[in-house]
A and B are shown apart, each in its own frame.
Chain A
Amino acid sequence: MSPTSKEMSKKITDEYMDEAFHAHERGKLIGYSTAISPVELFVAHDIIPIYPENHAVANLTAKKGAELCSVVESMGYTNHLCAYARSDLAYRKTGITVTKGIPEPDLFLACNAQCFTLTKWFQVLARKGNLPVFVFDTPEHVMDSNTRKEIVKYCVLQLKELISFLEEVTKRKFDYDRLKEVMKYSAESSILYKKFLDMAQYKPSPISIFDALIGMAIAVYRRGTQECVDYYQTLCDEIQAKVDQGIGVLPKEKEKYRLYWENLPVWFKFSDHAKLLGSYGGVILTSLYVHAWSFEFDLDKDPLVTLAENYVSRFSNSTIEDRADMATELFKKYSMNGMIMFMNRSCKAVSFAVPTLKEILTKRTGIPALVFESDMGDQRFYSETQIRTRIEAYFETLDRLQA
């Protein structure tokens, strides 16, 4: 019997971490990377990418955020920096983690298409070990098409510099043919990943954003590999089977509210939120965040050009107007009738767009929005009663509107 996607995910992750922990014995280097980075170059150059964000998510989901963040404040960092960074810096000091930890880095790749914060966080880590950092600078994907072309040229130049940087660090020549192969896997898995996300269009939706958040992990850390492609093929097949049988997250008659979520999740409230919303007939279907790994690589183009075009145009590096267009498209495609806008104290890159985005989206769709403020990982900024009350009030509003 073929393995399930869950079994595949576990196997891929275990093997990946095993390889990472034994990288030096096998003559390989560990490259810390931001989750939205042209990591295809690492994969093609046999550098094992490690994402400190993923490790942080594991700790924050396991409710270790407040404990770790308190430690980092005693080190002189303020409590309004990113909880990923805060918990990671505290992990380095205390060793506290709910996983086996992550291997130490040899080099860093920081792409600011995701956020500026990550580059600063990586610089702090690099200083501790006096290690090399490459900042892949992606200017905002502004709306003017000529400027976009210039930005892509600048990014391609930097990718060439990145290749030279990798060659210098590893003392090995970069293999462009290998990059083409990696790009092929990345392109295929991205198409399948998007297909998986888009299955939330069905009624009832067979997946919620919580499934998407679990399902996106392999796209984040194993893109550019055959096993990543195989995983998403299996996942799509499984979800399609649910669709064929009419199985939804909620039964069809109970699925009242198909919701949009803006921002990263509140990791330590992950399952609580799913249950709470479900009790009101609400299912969060999607967000711009989970679509950040829906790349559309054009294999007919120079790999560096298509990499530059894709990474620079992620939602997190797009103008607020473009983000609003992307979200509007999702509203139409997924037939959503509610939206939850999370003002995440940890993530300035996403959250500072939220007030404006909310204004635009409510105006365009006519759908009211629930806005709440908290932190994705630090429980000290989460007010249980207040947020629960707001969620209840929001569904009452939606009920009234529907009536």
Chain B
Amino acid sequence: MWDNLSIKEVAECAKDPYPSIRKWIKDNGKKAIGSTFADVPEEVIYAFGFLPVTIMGTNKPLKKAPSHLPDNACSLARSNLELVLSYEGDIFDGFVLPQVCDTTQHLSDIWRINFPDKYVESYLAPRQADRPSARYWVKEEIERIISSLSNWSGKKIVEEDLREAIKIHNENKILLKEIYDFKRNNPSALTNKEFFALMKLSQQVDKAELNQSLKKIKDSLQAGKNDGYTDVILVGITCDPPEIYDLFDEINLNIVGDTLLVGTRYIQGIVPAKGNPVDALTERHFKRGFFSPIHDNVYKNFEEVKALYKETKAKAIIYVHIEFCESQEYDLPDLKRMIKNEGILMHTLDTEYQTLSLSHVRTRLQAFFESLKGGSL
């Protein structure tokens, strides 16, 4: 189903992947396990023969979520809850939900209470990452998730199952990285929206199949005229709704680097192929870049962003703020100050998952980049 998609078809499917997921699990007699952001070891779920699906909110109206989570809760959390309560819950046989902040901690509980007949497990990610105990805990948690899935499904997995899952997931990330490298230097080859659709869909559908499409897409990419683009990097957690990428494309921005969970931070999840697979998955956890809820050092985030900015020779940073994301909101004033002190231009986009009109975002973005063209660009 996903093994022969063109780039346009991927973009279309990524807009609403759930009908195809629903059909695929029915046709293949598989079970889907949903997760929210971030860092659930999806290779483990895959090794059991389940389809891991990262749930990334819905643009459909909120009907039920507001009675569970008030309006000052992170809009991604409310949107994810709405997606399963009102729209796509039937697809999933179970969920593995990471807890990385107060909101996701409550979300796990609310989810479990609302789906008493489904498998709901929490992935208790460590919210510190620099001490040996964090490494100990990640390994414990991965082993616990394996044991929990095994108890629920009655299946056992062996090292070879995990290795095979890791291989497929690594291949997916390597393909995405290669496409990203091409896009970086050849922005006319595919739009930002198309590229990030590849990233998004990779986290939602069967990777063994999608990898076939990615290979063909990669081989079909052609260099074209690359004049008139402005290179920028995206900083944040996610970037939604996807129409925001249309705005970038409209004004010829070329995203040459990012720190998003739906971007580079996913690609950074390539797992070392050698050694014990659980150890390798543990190791991977610490190789990924900054993620505000679990990393405490905004200087590190700043250094990462600065290095990316220099490496890619970008002209500006676009910071994507998710409305009511507490973690980002504590970090942002200092991060902004550090970036400003470095003389780097930065534009902050305030996003909300249920946003229907992007006119205000468009106006501010256009104004920012018009002023750039009159100045340093």
Contacts and interface: CB of A to CB of B under 8 A. Distances in A.
Interface of A: 75-78, 80-81, 85, 112, 115-117, 119-121, 123-124, 127, 133, 135, 137, 139-140, 142, 147, 150-151, 154, 157-158, 161, 319-321, 343, 345, 348-349, 351-353, 355-356, 373
Which are the 9 A-B pairs with shortest beta-carbon distances? A76-B333, A120-B330, A139-B124, A352-B106, A320-B109, A157-B133, A349-B102, A135-B128, A116-B102
B122 A116 contact: no
Interface string B81-124: 00000000000000000010111011011101100000000101
B333 A135 contact: no
B339 interface: no
Q: Which of A117, A120, A121 has the most CB of B within 10 A?
A: A120
A294 B69 CA distance: 29
Contacts of B106: 320, 348, 352-353
Nearest to B338: A127
Contact of B124 (A117, A124, A135, A151): A151
Interface stretch (B10-18, B33-41, B156-164, B321-329): B321-329
B68 A76 contact: no
Nearest to A360: B113
Contacts of A135: 127-128, 296
B133 A320 contact: no
A353 B105 CA distance: 10
A120 B334 contact: no
Nearest to A150: B140
B73 interface: yes
A117 B326 contact: yes
A78 B336 CA distance: 14
13 contacts: A75-B333, A77-B329, A81-B326, A116-B127, A120-B326, A123-B330, A124-B334, A127-B334, A137-B128, A137-B137, A139-B124, A355-B68, A356-B110
Given A150-B140, A348-B73, A356-B110, A119 B122 contact: no
Given A133-B296, A158-B131, A352-B69, 18 more contacts: A116-B101, A116-B293, A135-B128, A135-B296, A139-B126, A150-B140, A154-B126, A154-B133, A154-B137, A157-B133, A320-B110, A348-B73, A348-B103, A349-B105, A351-B70, A352-B73, A352-B102, A355-B68
A226 B137 CA distance: 36
Contacts of B297: 123
A123 B298 CA distance: 9
Contacts of B136: 154, 157
Nearest to A124: B330
Contacts of B334: 124, 127
B144 A140 contact: no
Nearest to B105: A140
Contact of A356 (B68, B99, B132, B298): B68
A238 B175 CA distance: 73
Interface in B322-363: 324, 326-327, 329-334, 336
B67 interface: yes
Contacts of B112: 319
Interface string B61-84: 000000111101100000000000
B72 A345 contact: yes
Contacts of B124: 139-140, 142, 151
Specify the main secondary structure of chain B where it touches its partner.
Answer: helix
A78 B74 CA distance: 13
B224 to A, nearest CB: 41
B127 A80 contact: no
Contacts of A140: 99, 105, 108, 122, 124
A89 to B, nearest CB: 9
A59 B296 CA distance: 28
A76 B127 contact: no
A276 B131 CA distance: 50
Nearest to B296: A123
B103 A352 contact: yes
Contacts of B126: 137, 139, 154
Contact of B144 (A85, A150, A343): A150
B290 to A, nearest CB: 13
Contacts of A115: 102
Contacts of A137: 126-128, 134, 137
A139 B99 contact: yes
A183 to B, nearest CB: 22
Contacts of A154: 126, 133, 136-137, 140
Contact of B327 (A120, A355, A356): A120
A161 B131 contact: yes
B368 interface: no
B84 to A, nearest CB: 15
A116 B329 CA distance: 13
Interface in B272-330: 293, 296-299, 324, 326-327, 329-330
A321 B109 contact: yes
A79 to B, nearest CB: 10
Contacts of A77: 329-330, 333
A162 to B, nearest CB: 10
B102 A348 contact: yes
A161 to B, nearest CB: 5
